[in-house]
Structure 1
Amino acid sequence: MESLNHTLFLWLNAPERPSALALMLATFFAEQLIWAVPLLIGIGWLRGSEGIRKAMLIATASGLLGLLINQAIGLAWTHPRPFMIGLGHTLIPHIADSSFPSDHLTLWWTVAFSLLLQQQHRSTGIGLALLGVPIAWGRIYLGVHFPFDMLGAISVALLSAWLTLRGAHWYLGPGYRLATAIHHRLFGKLIALGWVRE
């Protein structure tokens, strides 16, 4: 399996002299697009209805659980990144920690799958899930992940999204009340001006 992982990586990894366009796109998908997750959740919370806000809380819980599972996997089994074993070309800096599963893709796909599993937000979830594909490509192309790291991320993301949706009755009510109280305290003046929903 590891030889297949290496073969797929070398097929998708950047050549020694990549084109400027490919490098720019890969860097955008691999490093910048992830910021759309907190932006989406923040806008959804600030401007959305109660239903949207609760969906954002479930998505946040999914992302946090996914990253926690990844940390446990990394502690139990350390898998080197390509540059740690001198494989392929690495075009962005990265710390030499365990590669499996990809934290970037786990966070992205947990939010995507969380929304996809909620009927009223399915189209947004599908769109986000599809955008995870170029993110995965970018991380491999730039040399910081193996293809199997992405398979691990999708597995953890599906599990996390399913668990947090199934268990929402345990935490969503208290979590929503706490988040709403913090929201009113932080944005009271903007709420009064009508710039932010109450």
Structure 2
Amino acid sequence: MEELNLLLFLWIAAGHAPCAWLVSAAGAIAVGGPWLCAGLLGWMAWLHRRERGYLLAVLGCAALASMLAHELAAVLNLPRPFMVGLSPAYIEHGARGSLPSAHATVMFTVALLCLRRPALRRAGAVAFAAGILTGWARIHVGVHFPADIPAGLLLALVLVAVFGGLEHVGRRVRGVLERGSSSA
């Protein structure tokens, strides 16, 4: 598995002899992709008043996703490509653990949560595509290995499943409380 991860990195990354315009574009995407997601959430909150509470919960989940991804990366402490000399880091980045990608975790969490709601599905699809593109860009600029991105997606899937479970429990509790208050 590690060999495949390395081969994919060498195929995707800019390496030591980059194409200047592609590194520049990838750097802009690697840094700006999450801001696109944030702007998309703001736009959806403006367009869909009824979804504002849900979007606030999405923001809370995104914050939790970021914290969990950073904590997992710190515990696993796997080096980034630039830390082992496979490529320069073409964007500014700290030398800390890389798996899972916090950017991928947050962006995929936002995307998957938006895909759960009919009014937000287009935004979810855009956020998912932005997550994939940002993942590619962060590999290209030398700050992630390819496996870091699907690891972020996997963590996002777990978080969205937990969110869905909590949402289901909340609905059941609300139903019990409503039935209890109507019989009193």
Please indicate the TM-score interval, normalised by the length of the shorter structure: 0.7 to 0.9
1:17-166 equivalence runs, <5 A: 17-45=17-45, 47-166=46-165
> What residue ranges of structure 2 are gaps of 5+ in the alignment?
172-184
Could you say what secondary structure the match of 1:156 adopts? helix
Q: Residues 13, 96 of structure 1: CA spacing in aligned structure 2 closer, same or farther, 3 A cutoff? A: same
What TM-score, normalized to structure 1? 0.77
Give the drift of 1:8. 1.0
Give the drift of 1:48. 4.1
Q: Is the 8 A contact 1:115 1:124 kept in 2?
A: yes
What TM-score, normalized to structure 2? 0.82
Q: Is the 8 A contact 1:58 1:165 kept in 2?
A: no
> What residue ranges of structure 1 are gaps of 5+ in the alignment?
173-198
Give percent identity, aligned residues only.
31
Q: Is the 8 A contact 1:34 1:104 kept in 2?
A: yes
Distance 1:171 1:20 in 2: 51
- CA-atom RMSD, angstroms? 2.1
